[in-house]
Each structure stands twice: as C-alpha cells, then as structure tokens.
Structure 1
Amino acid sequence: MMAEQEFHVDNTIRLAERMVRSESFNHLYDEGMSLVEEAASYLDGEGRAAARRLTRVAATLYAAESMRLTTRLMQVASWLLLQRASRSGEMTPDQVLSEKAKVRLDTDSAPESVAGWDEIPLSYCDIVHRSLRLQARVRQMDDEIYNENVEERPLFSTNPVSDQITLLATAFGNR
C-alpha cells in the first residue's frame, strides 16, 4: 500500500500583493514620495527657522525627531521603490527579497507626552503623524506579502535609541 501524499495548495488571495501589482499602487507610491519631498522641504525651510525659536529641550527633541522622520521616510521610500522595480520587472523576486531585508519599517516616534513636544510646530507634527500612518500601512502590506505567519506587532515598536534620546531630552529639561 502506497503512502498517501498530501499536497497543500495555498489559495489565499493576498490583497496587499494584488494592490502592489495594480494601478492603485501608484497612489500609495505618489503619496509616499510626495511626503518625502514635503518633509525635506519643511526641514530645509520653515522647519529650520522654527527650530531656532525652540527651547533647548524642544530643540533637542526636534533634532531627534527629525532624524527619526527622515529615517522612517527613507525606509518607506526604499520599500516603495523596491515594489515598483519588482512590478516593472527591473528586479527579480529574489533581488527584491535580498534588498528588502535591508529595509526597516519600524522607526517609531517620541511619545507626545515627552517634555518639549508641546512646543513642536503643528505643521511638523502633522508631517510626523502622516509619516507614521504611511509607515504602518506599508508595514502591514509588507507583512501580508512577505511574512505568512506574522504575529500581531504593536503599531510602534520599542527603539532603544529613541528611548535614550527621550531620556536625554528629559535630563536636559530638568537642568
């Protein structure tokens, strides 16, 4: 008697993967790249002027948050560019996976309860919030496309560097 083999066929429809392959991806791509440009323009212009008017605590927080924002947006842009390259056939799936392994989609933000946050300009806070929402959407799509059995992750992960920067900002505020 021959052993019966079981074949598992995955008929799961991955909506995120279909979205990346569809025309609707262009909207997400455009949103991401526009946000990168908007943040760069803000940090180079209006944000630079606003940062000069902040207290030392708020200026430290603003500098740290600017680094996190820039990192977050560059990582999201990298992911979007990889998906576009895959979609257009410029990269093979293996090449995309290899490069995607370098992309981090978990750059968090300082908690809004930290000292100095209330001094940060609202227009900058809006950019930060939109970047966090965009990162969360991209991370959710990434998980659905590339990680089959992903456990639920918190929306914002713990980042030891961020924790240290927050501690430094708090320490400077107590001087």
Structure 2
Amino acid sequence: MANPTHIRQSDGPDLTFTEGKVFEKVFTDGMALVEETAAYLDGPGRKLSQTLPREASLTYAAWSMELTTRLMQAASWLVMQKAVQDRDMKRSDAALDKYRIRRDDPPLDASAQRGRGLPDLFLDLVERSENLYERICRLDSAIYGNGPKDTKSPVSLQLQELQRAAETGAFDPLRVWGNAK
C-alpha cells in the first residue's frame, strides 16, 4: 500500500496525513517546542546572553533571530495543517506556494558551536528546532510535492543581502557591535 502522505486526489493533496496520529504528534511536539524556546529566549536565555563573550554573544543574537523565524514558520505551517484538518481551510488553498515551507538556507549547526561559549541548553533547542523544521519541510514536500526552488521569503532575501554586505566589507557586524558598547 502507498504511503498516505504521497496519495493525491484530483483536486489536491490527500487529507490522510492531517487526520492521522503522526500529524497529531508532530503538531503537539512542534507547538511545545515553540513554547519552550520562547520561554527560554525570553527568560533564562536573555539573562545568560548578557554574560556571554563577544563572539558567542553575536552568534547567540543572530541564531536567536533565525531560530525564532524558523519556529514561527513551522508553527504557522502546523496551524495551517490543523485548519485543513478541521475543514476551516481548503486543501487546495494549503497547496498554494505562499503556504508552503521549504529550506532556503542551510541549517544552523549546533554541534559545530559546542564548546565555543554558547549555552548547551540553547544549542539543544537549536538542534531540536532544526530537526523539527527539517521534518516539516519533508512533510510539506511529501504532501504537496516539490514547489519552485528559487522562491525565497522576504526574510531570506534580506539575510542574503546582509551576508553579501558582510562578505564584501560593506557591513562589519563586529565593528557595529563595538561601537554600540
């Protein structure tokens, strides 16, 4: 028998996935991770970030923003799938490119940052969040098929511009950071 996530009907993706236990588990775990990460970043993580060495502090700030963005994208996708499940949204609408989720940028590599001054709990959250995001990207692709690969979100485009500016020397985050102190 075919995998239910790959079954399609003539009018769009099959609902089997959102009606199953796998979706409920991904939804529950994903939303719990969003809450856990938000609580950490707003509480102990915020206090701890103020005591980090300069380089670790810069990485923490950048990664916190990226982590928050990816988790919000994942949560939005999960909520949208829930709307499909509850018949509050048409499955054909959920297949539109604007609701799709895919990885445009490489994942954050928490293992490469271990031992470099970032808190282990933060790196654990990064790792778990990256795993969730990757899983949701695979599910999206399995349910709705592969969409255009060259479509980037506005946030991804701005991050690319910042990266290009930093690489060319037009923007030096370390210099800006030093002037802010």
Check whether TM > 0.5.
Answer: yes
Distance 2:45 2:161 in 1: 23
Distance 2:161 2:121 in 1: 25
Identity of aligned residues (%): 30
Note the aligned Cα RMSD (angstroms): 3.7
Q: In structure 2, what residue type is equivalent to 1:105?
A: R
Q: In structure 1, what residue type is equivalent to 2:79?
A: L
Task: Provide the TM-score with structure 2 as the length reference.
Answer: 0.70
Highest relative contact order (Cα 8 Å, sep 6+), 1 or 2? 1
* TM-fit CA distance, 1:27: 1.2
Contact 2:114 2:120 in 1 (8 A): no
* TM-fit CA distance, 1:147: 1.1
Structure 2 residue aligned with 1:172: 174
Distance 2:174 2:123 in 1: 22
Task: Provide the TM-score with structure 1 as the length reference.
Answer: 0.72
Unaligned runs of 5+ in 2: 7-13, 150-158
Larger radius of gyration: 1
Encode CA deviations 1:111-132: one digit per residue, 9 max, x unaligned.
Answer: 4587897111000000000000
Contact 1:19 1:25 in 2 (8 A): yes
Whether 1:30 aligns to 2:28 is yes
Contact 1:47 1:124 in 2 (8 A): yes
Unaligned runs of 5+ in 1: 1-10, 152-158
Contact 1:58 1:116 in 2 (8 A): no
Structure 2 residue aligned with 1:40: 38
How many pairs does the alignment contain? 158
Distance 1:163 1:41 in 2: 29
